Structure 1
């Protein structure tokens, strides 16, 4: 009696094939919805990705490359190939090997998986390679696992990374024009208000230029860049291109993960931006010039009132409450 295939595994294989052949925006939306609908869907897809990574050497086999190229080629009126759907299934059969009850994938990188958080919410994630990460409120990342690299793009917000060791696959986080290469590490990356901040709590990282210094993406390249030590924080200004290296305690770097916001001579504009990710009523500065004033202290993320109470004690300002906004004005 033949063995029955798992319908979820079949769907995962079909989605991975679609990703390789190219999906439009509507298909990508339906793919992401399928992943989010059931943890079993994402688990099946991740199993395929891990298996495909293990068979990396076959991915460049001439026969496999020929199959991928033929599958991607547009069909013509005189084309004697089967319709695209059935050709895709045939290609998938050639590239997915049933071994020990699991599917094995040998194609190139899948579409990135996208994770995000909303207002006032944080999210913990476990990646397929064993790495762990936490997303701060109003943050968004994309994750691409390839046979040669684990690439994370922090599109906005803040994230903490605890990286699983894998010398064969560098773990690279990009944010803006910066690339952070993990060298066996726990670190934090923040991308807000034109600033990229990297705080190292364990191990080592190297921060380089993601756009022009491709060698910086390889841990063993010896490429130019700034290598951080534990307790250091690097802040890069995308507008000026200036980097600043400073000391930072592990406790301060981890504060946001415990619901606290730590500021050390932080511009008031950045403080307001951070607290607004949690505040029930948005806070605004009536005069942009107020934004340059430096703020130091630790405030609870869920207690914007604590910050509002402290500001008039620190600066000549007053707090004005309206129905849908809280204004910080210069005191008259």
Structure 2
């Protein structure tokens, strides 16, 4: 799709969202859409993206403010030329954090928002904050594709249809079980709470069985057992939206909190690498969690805006 076509589509979407198009302008819009199938496709695509961005509550205010700024300028002939670019800027920035795969997912959560879904087969799926999944349930299979974030799965028994969780790294086939799956870089982290699963890397043929109390990392080439976990502690932390850490490096903790913050968290990994954290932190209130860390470690939080924090080391 050309930049010029994007600009035209953005212009029409903004004017339509203002809600004051005349009848003649509505007719002009319909004629423009009918003139070329690419026009209608560009309009629908731009309208869909703007709608999805506005639906993301933590980012809704900045996007709406950007739209308002565009509306103020649209009566200026020179400003009309910039309408598409002005709209494209917040869209481009938001898509860095929220790519199309997230925006178009069957189910998704905003940062610090948890959601439990009752699936049609009786299974339960819980999404942690900033997570997204696609669902495929038919007569042959029950598949959850984890696009980002982390999920807790409670699988209902169905002897005729396998239940699988799939990521780019591989897949987990449930054998009547309860488990967590988390997208990481690198790999996918699997935590077994009950029963067992068969885990397979995307490039592998042979499955590895992972049982209750075990943790494994799945990469395309291997499934590696990482050691033991406490299923009850892990389950309780999920129910309470908590991050339980024992002697973690501070940058690793901040990575987890930043994913739930919904803005930009800036810090120097090398500067903070030797600081260790043992704590129970509220993932559904990442700003408070960061303050708890700052209260106990030689670091301070600087807020440049509601969506931009800096964590830096200080001498105490």
Bin of the TM-score, shorter chain as denominator length: 0.5 to 0.7
Asked if 1:232 is matched to 2:214, the reply is yes
In 1, Cα distance between equivalents of 2:303 and 2:105:
41
Cα pair distance change 1:262/1:153, threshold 3 Å: same
Matching residue of 2:112: 120
Matches of 1:295 and 1:176 in 2, distance apart?
Answer: 31
| In structure 1, C-alpha distance between the alignment counterparts of 2:152 and 2:234, rounded to whole Å | 9
Query: 1:1-332 alignment to 2 at 5 Å?
Result: 114-213=106-205, 223-225=206-208, 227-236=209-218, 243-254=224-235, 255-279=237-261, 282-287=264-269, 290=272, 295-303=277-285, 304-311=287-294, 313-314=296-297, 317-324=299-306, 325-331=308-314
Structure 2 alignment gaps of length 5 or more: 1-40, 52-103
Question: Which structure has the highest helix share of the two?
Answer: 2
Q: Helix, strand or coil for the counterpart of 1:276?
A: helix
Give the 3-state SS of the residue equivalent to 1:274 in structure 2.
helix
CA distance in 1, matches of 2:274, 2:255: 13
How far is 1:233 from its partner?
A: 1.4
Which secondary structure does the structure 2 equivalent of 1:322 belong to?
Answer: strand
1:162-210 per-position Cα deviation (integer Å, ceiling 9, x unaligned): 1011122111101221211100001111113334111111111121113
Secondary structure, aligned partner of 2:272? helix
Q: Distance in 1 between matches of 2:129 and 2:223?
A: 27
Deviations 1:47-89 (A, max 9, x none): xxxxxxxxxxxxxxxxxxxxxxxxxxxxxxxxxxxxxxxxxxx
Change beyond 3 A, Cα 1:133–1:234: same
Structure 1's 145 and 192: CA in aligned 2 closer, same or farther, altered over 3 A?
same
> Scaled by the length of structure 1, what TM-score is found?
0.56
RMSD, matched Cα: 3.3
Q: Residues of 1 paired with 2:281 and 2:257: CA distance? A: 9
**SS of the residue 1:310 aligns to:** helix
Tell me the matched-pair count. Answer: 216
Task: Tell me the equivalent position of 1:64.
Answer: none
